[in-house]
Amino acid sequence: MCGFIGIFGPEGADVASEIYEGLLAIQHRGQDAAGITTFTDTFHSRKGFGLVRDVFDEQAMLELRGHLGVGHVRYPTVGVGRAEDAQPFHVNFPVGVAMAHNGNVTNFEELKDLHFRSSGTRLNSSCDVEVVLFVFVRALSERIRPGVKVGPDDIFAAVAAVYEEVKGAYSVVATLPDVGMVAFRDPYGIKPICVGSKVDEDGHVWHAAVSESVVLDVIGYERQFDLAAGEAYFVPASGPPVRKQIGNKPHRPCIFELVYFARPDSMLDDISVYRTRVRFGEAMAAQWKAEGAPIPDSVIPIPDSSRDAAMSMAVSMGVPYREGLVKNRYIGRTFIMPNQDAREGSVRRKLNAIPLEFDGKEVLLVDDSIVRGTTSRRIVRMVREAGAKKVYLATCSPPLVSPCPYGIDMATKTDFIAAGRSREEIAASIEVDYLMYLDREAMNQSARAGNPSVEKFCNACFTGDYPTGDITPEVLESIAGERRDSQQHLLPFKSKVGAGG
């Protein structure tokens, strides 16, 4: 899970400040590293470890000039983690391209063997967007003719080459000096991407492609549409934008975006993240009652992504909603902390209980999911120390049992607390008096209600049914091995970075 923004503005404009503001809006998608690449007569790039505000100072922003640019925030998936892994990436020859992506290339090693190891060509990093960039540029260069401008057909042919060779889940934005900007979404549409535009006071049109629609809201653009699965969108240097449907696979957007990753004020595939989480809460309340579960004195969210569902659940159950856990907003999201030790150590720093809301009470905690169970157990213990008589827990998603090869570092198969355990065993492990997972079909129905045209979501982490059809046990073991290796090579004071976006 990463976040990106690409902007193509009018000649003479500078887009870096808007890219910076856009990256701040999606900082939740990645806190490990950030980068911006712009172009005037040359590429200007600034990348580094840390939050957006840490990577870019006033001098850096002054140097990031140009009317087209790409920005990126990254969270760790796999890889040792070096500064050169930070996105965006750019090449100057045979055609200039700057590119960023969100996702994970599942045949990364295969493509490295095919295009690099066997030819003597060298990669500059362990980041898989470099392979996407290579395939795109190679295909584009094969169509370039002296004196002939690169056009939509050339761009779409290059995107088609990526779809043909690059497997996995990815959404991509790239800027090409003197040519334009292109955005495209993987053939199954697993990773989100939408486009927008604005008209400035001089009547010039600015175009943007972003990971979440909230970016467009923040920088004052009008959201136009989400790219479909296998669709490409090209904004030429002159002339109107062009859309083309290239892939023909069924659309399978990631359900976990709605459960956890995305901001509630975003729209993904015309689905309101906020409204979906409200529906999660309503479905959870109905399921809680149907199971005959104990009625709590209050419903309390584990902030932040479960707050909307918890409030909706409380209202539907006729039980008071309370804020009993206070979050330190200067601590990053523990789900995407780089390793288990970091996750465990950050829980106490991140959350603190309000004893008045727990002392002598039976409380129902609501969370978005349970992955390893470590964080849940520590929160339950904290709540009991605050005086809770009984602690119940409900989650907005079903049990997680299968690794995600598409760019979500939730766990390897042996890490999931739900793998091979009954609900009662999980409840005992995390020390709650009652545990409920939202039914998977109820979760999907809640999401589909926002846009019935989305027939199915990717549920692979709950079922092991991978929509791309090419995820074998060997692929999963390879990813698990990379994660184990990366944890052994963590550098002091630096979190590991992801081969995936």
Give the CATH number of the domain where residue 152 resides.
3.60.20.10
396 in a known ligand binding site: no
Residue 27 lies inside a defined structural domain of this protein: yes
List the domain range (segments joined by +) for residue 27. Answer: 3-252
Q: Please, what is the angle between helix 152-165 and helix 129-141, to 10°?
A: 130
Contact 175/181 with Cβ under 8 angstroms?
Answer: yes
Identify the CA nearest to 404 among candidates 342, 471, 336: 471
Q: What CATH number is associated with residue 450?
A: 3.40.50.2020
Is 109 exposed, middle or buried, given 0-12, 13-18 or 19+ CB atoms closer than 10 A? middle
72 & 114 share domain = yes
Q: Examine the domain organization and report whether 160 and 223 are in the same domain.
A: yes
Is 359 domain-assigned?
A: yes
- Flag whether 305 is marked binding: yes
Q: What is the pLDDT along the chain (501 residues), one digit of tens a residue?
A: 799 999 999 999 999 999 999 999 999 999 999 999 999 999 999 999 999 999 999 999 999 999 999 999 998 655 445 677 899 999 998 889 999 999 999 998 888 887 776 666 777 787 889 999 999 999 999 998 888 899 999 999 999 999 999 999 999 999 999 999 999 999 999 999 999 999 999 999 999 999 999 999 999 999 999 999 999 999 999 999 999 999 999 999 999 999 999 999 999 999 999 999 999 999 999 999 999 999 999 999 999 899 999 999 999 999 999 999 999 877 655 444 545 555 555 676 889 999 999 999 999 999 999 999 999 999 999 999 999 999 999 999 999 999 999 988 765 666 899 999 999 999 999 999 999 999 999 999 999 999 999 999 999 999 999 999 999 888 888 766 666 555 554 443 333 223 456
- Judge whether 142 lies within some domain: yes
Task: Please indicate if the annotation marks 368 as binding a ligand.
Answer: yes
In the Cβ-directed half-sphere of 239, how many Cα atoms lie within 13 Å?
A: 12
Positive or negative: CA dihedral 172, 173, 175, 176 = positive
Residue 110 placed within a domain: yes
- Three-state SS annotation for 132-172: HHHHHHHHHHCCCCCCCCCCHHHHHHHHHHHHHHCCEEEEE
The number of folded domains in the chain is: 2
* Alpha carbons within 13 A on the beta-carbon side of 40: 10
Q: Which residues pair with 206 in a beta bridge?
A: 198
Please check whether residue 352 lies inside any domain of the structure. Answer: yes
Tell me whether the omega of the peptide bond preceding residue 192 falls within 30 degrees of 0, making it cis. Answer: no
Tell whether 238 and 300 lie within a shared domain. no
User: Is 254 known to sit in a ligand binding site?
Assistant: yes
Beta carbons within 10 angstroms of residue 113's beta carbon: 12
pLDDT of res. 335: 47
Backbone angles phi, psi at 358, to 5 degrees: -120, -30
Known catalytic residues?
Answer: 2
Angle at 241 between CA 236 and CA 246, to 5 degrees: 100
| Number of other residues whose CB lies within 10 A of the CB of residue 269 | 23
Q: Do 61 and 210 sit in the same domain of this protein?
A: yes
Q: What is the CA radius of gyration of the chain?
A: 23
